[in-house]
Structure 1
Amino acid sequence: MKHIPRKRFGQHFLADEGIIDAIVREIAPRPGDPMVEIGPGLAALTQPLVERLGHLTVVELDRDLAARLRSHGQLRVIESDVLKVDFGALAQELAPGQDAALRVVGNLPYNISTPILFHLLAFAGRIADQHFMLQKEVIDRMVAAPATADYGRLSVMLQWRYAMENVLFVPPESFDPPPRVDSAVVRMVPRAQPAPVRPPLLEELVQTAFSQRRKLLRHTLGKWLDAKGFAGNFDTQRRAEEVPVDEYVALALELP
């Protein structure tokens, strides 16, 4: 029975064999790798992955798709909202005793891709790498350099924790049904020794800085720093997009 894509889940199923092969090459799965796939859908990427891995854990919210996937003998199916999945516990289960071992892949639903990225941020210490297909404009923001229009909160929060690379362009016609946007594949490798900032503090700092992009930081971040009792030196005569990631991180480390 043909599965009808569900708009509420943001379902667009990958159907281009050439693109699928290219994504698998970028992921480079090896037999026995502890890997989790988010949103396997109709298993277009799942099947070539599991053929190389031997076994694969998948997270699928759609109960009809989850039921189909359970019939595959080499898959373990977690029927759940991915935002409720404890990837730290999964890493401990799939790669006990190994640090930064879990590999995570997926075609992320466009409507919740950013919340998924922030959810995974908390588990980056147990993850070896992540390969995600996303809306191209989201990846452009993820990898953006300072002083560009795409540089923002997402750029800073993710670049602090990951080295990232846009590795593949995916046109709309690669999907069924075709989305109205271009897609791309990003590789995310957690940094081995990230600066030991408190993520909630860095997120609050960055969110405040970019809350009014066109204004100088003295109107936003400057007032926030004053309220925190910050007595250090930080140039607030700039706009948020002019400040490199390492300066935001250094500022977060100085705060009480």
Structure 2
Amino acid sequence: MADLLGPSEIRSLAESLGAAPTKKWGQNFVVDSGTVRRIVRIAGVQPGDHVVEVGPGLGSLTLALLEAGARVTAVEIDPKLAAALADTVARKAPEAVDRLTVIHRDALDVTELPEQPQALVANLPYNVSVPVILHFLEIFPALERVLVMVQAEVADRIAAPPGSRTYGVPSAKAAWYTATRRAGDVGRAVFWPVPRVDSALVLMERRDQPETTASRQEVFAVIDAAFAQRRKGLRGALSGLAGSGALAEAALERVGIAPLTRGEQLGIEDFARIAESLAQAGAAPGTLGA
């Protein structure tokens, strides 16, 4: 097995770089080798896989991914950490240096990589986790699976099924791309600094998108509108997209959905059917698919 980073070494490395964890970028570094190996195992990383890692930090998870034989593209927004990562890998796993590419950039600005990744594996900052996941699923169609460690509350929202209390925009949009489930809890003690919230793993596996003539943008516009005011029935929630409440009701009835149904009761196929009905009826210009 590779020589992974331990708690004292992580603190020493951060001190040598003058890189204390910052709230600005939501940094909590993993200091437990068992946790990063568990993440790699659940993600199903195989030798030769191209894995993109967002927010590698000091390199704990990066080293575990390289240990599994993956080729890793690490996207890091912190300039100090991005500059130091290759040196850390050269010191801890010199045989793996040629399998690491480091990109210093905001993950939401990444639109191309050296090659299409098979997997996204990351300890994601809580404040950007959902946008980053959806961005990479949209931009990289070869991305087969996503395994992320996020705040437990965020994990619940991403993996929630229709009808549950936590079901909403993140879970509905994730379902456009993937089948999603929680893949385990993570204790607070594996992080430095220790966060005030619990964490969890989420596994997302690419599936066929719903069969529909509506575009992804149109479907996502319906999802956004449906959850903008959760207490409203869809007739009222979609009135802006449709042009009026009456037109929204007509679009819903064409696909067999009661006008007072709430968004939390619908699956991704239902949202796709609604978007298709609205588009066919000529939804208000400048709204659907914006």
TM-score, normalised to structure 2, is 0.79
1:114 alignment partner, SS class: helix
**226-235 or 64-73: which moved more?**
226-235
Is the Cα contact below 8 Å between 2:53 and 2:73 reproduced in 1? yes
Matched letter for residue 250 of structure 1: R
Q: How does 1:1-256 map to 2 (within 5 A)?
A: 1=13, 2=15, 3-53=19-69, 55-71=71-87, 72=89, 73-74=97-98, 75-86=100-111, 89-90=112-113, 93-95=114-116, 102-196=118-212, 197-222=214-239, 224-227=241-244, 231-232=250-251, 233=253, 234-256=257-279
> What residue in structure 2 maps to residue 98 of structure 1?
none
Which digits, 9 at most, give the CA deviation of each residue in 1:45-69, with x for residues without a partner?
Answer: 1112112225321111111111111
Matched letter for residue 174 of structure 2: L
Which digits, 9 at most, give the CA deviation of each residue in 1:117-138, with x for residues without a partner?
Answer: 2312322522111111111111
How many corresponding residue pairs?
A: 247
Matched letter for residue 195 of structure 1: E
Is the Cα contact below 8 Å between 1:129 and 1:190 reproduced in 2? yes
CA drift at 1:243: 2.2
Q: Distance in 1 between matches of 2:61 and 2:24?
A: 21
1:122 alignment partner, SS class: helix
Gaps of 5+ in 1: 96-100
Q: Distance in 2 between matches of 1:125 and 1:252?
A: 22
2:144 alignment partner, SS class: strand
Give the direction of change, closer, same or farther, for the CA distance of 1:217–1:192 in structure 2 (3 Å limit): closer
1:115 alignment partner, SS class: helix
Give the direction of change, closer, same or farther, for the CA distance of 1:218–1:253 in structure 2 (3 Å limit): closer
Q: Distance in 2 between matches of 1:124 and 1:148?
A: 29
Which digits, 9 at most, give the CA deviation of each residue in 1:172-226, with x for residues without a partner?
Answer: 2210001111111111112134434322212221111111112222222245334
2:60 alignment partner, SS class: coil
CA drift at 1:85: 0.5
Matched letter for residue 59 of structure 2: A
CA drift at 1:255: 2.8
Is the Cα contact below 8 Å between 1:35 and 1:56 reproduced in 2? yes
Give the direction of change, closer, same or farther, for the CA distance of 1:207–1:192 in structure 2 (3 Å limit): closer
TM-score, normalised to structure 1, is 0.88
**197-206 or 171-180: which moved more?**
197-206
Q: Which has the larger radius of gyration?
A: 2
Which digits, 9 at most, give the CA deviation of each residue in 1:64-96, with x for residues without a partner?
Answer: 11111122324211011101111xx32xx425x
Matched letter for residue 239 of structure 1: R
1:8 alignment partner, SS class: coil
1:76 alignment partner, SS class: strand
Matched letter for residue 103 of structure 1: A
Is the Cα contact below 8 Å between 2:188 and 2:194 reproduced in 1? yes
Is the Cα contact below 8 Å between 1:168 and 1:186 reproduced in 2? yes
